[in-house]
Amino acid sequence: MIETEVKKKITLEEFMQLPDENIELINGQIVQEPTPVYGHQKISVIIASEIYAQLKDNNRGDIIAAPMDVILGENVLQPDLLFIAAGRLSIAGSGRVVGPPDVVFEIISPSNAYRDTKEKFDLYEQFGVEEYFIVYPDDKMVVKYALSDGKYHEAYRETGIVKSEIIGCDISF
Is residue 63 a contact partner of residue 85, using CB atoms and an 8 Å limit? no
Query: Tell me: the pLDDT tens digits for 34-93?
Result: 888 999 999 999 999 999 999 988 889 999 999 999 999 999 999 999 999 999 999 998
Share of the chain residues as helix, strand and coil, in percent rounded to the nearest 5: 25, 35, 40
Give Cβ neighbours of residue 143 (< 8 Å, ≥ 6 apart): 133, 134, 135, 136, 154, 156, 157
pTM of the model: 0.90
Question: For the residues 7-24, what does the mean pLDDT come to?
Answer: 81
DSSP state of 22: S
Q: pLDDT band at 3, cuts 50/70/90?
A: low
